[in-house]
Amino acid sequence: MVTIIPMNKKELSGEVISYSLHTTGYGQAVIASTSIGVCYVGFGEREKVLNDLKKRYGGATVQEKYLPLHQHVLNHLEKGDASDLTLHVAGTGFQLSVWNALLQIPVGEVSSYKAVAQAIGKPKAVRAVGSAIGNNPVSCIIPCHRVVRSDGRLGGYFWGTEIKRSMLEREAQTAGIRY
């Protein structure tokens, strides 16, 4: 079970974020965490990903340091098992409600932006839901890649649609579903 602990923006000035670089089936990844939990997972070129991490958590001290928790995240990436992960992320109340709804989408399945908006009781907030999904700081742990357009097309993905497609295919295979 994934637990989300909201990070107050005021906490950032005293927060230490440790990150490590890893090679995954989706390419280069940066995994970062606070003393409370995972706060970031991003894919791509080191500088681009680190700039995104620092932008999201401006005011925090960011240091390169491998933590055993990062290996647990890697296991999730490879096996889709996010059991016992605690996330420590900054987001608005609306974003947190969207991210919690995403955690309800089963491995190997997809949902739509419209369905997520309905799930949080805001059926007309489809675009806002899309923005909240795009601001997810822990890519694939909060499974934003499981949200597709109502017509079944992939739609966008912050880290690129090829990574999104790969994640969906791997999860479908793990779940015994053909995507």
User: In this predicted model, what pLDDT tens digit does every residue of 70-125 receive, in sequence order?
Assistant: 999 998 887 766 668 999 999 999 999 999 999 999 888 999 999 999 999 999 99
- How far is residue 113's CA from residue 106's CA, in Å, rounded to a whole number? 15
- Domains of the chain from N-terminus onward: 2-89 (3.30.160.70), 93-175 (1.10.10.10)
> What pLDDT score does 105 carry?
93
Active site residues: 144
Neighbours of 69 (CB within 10 A): 19
> What pLDDT score does 66 carry?
94
The pTM for the full model equals: 0.91
> Three-state DSSP class for 3?
strand
Residues 102 and 133: beta-carbon distance below 8 Å: yes
What is the band of 14 on the pLDDT scale with cuts at 50, 70, 90? confident
Total residues found in the chain within this entry: 179
Residues 143-169 as b or e (16 or more Cβ within 10 Å = b)? bbbbbbeeeeeebebbbeeebbebbbe
- How far is residue 115's CA from residue 123's CA, in Å, rounded to a whole number? 8
Q: Is the pLDDT of residue 137 over 80?
A: yes
What is the band of 8 on the pLDDT scale with cuts at 50, 70, 90? confident
Neighbours of 72 (CB within 10 A): 17
> What pLDDT score does 48 carry?
93
Q: Which amino acid is at 139?
A: S
Neighbours of 46 (CB within 10 A): 11
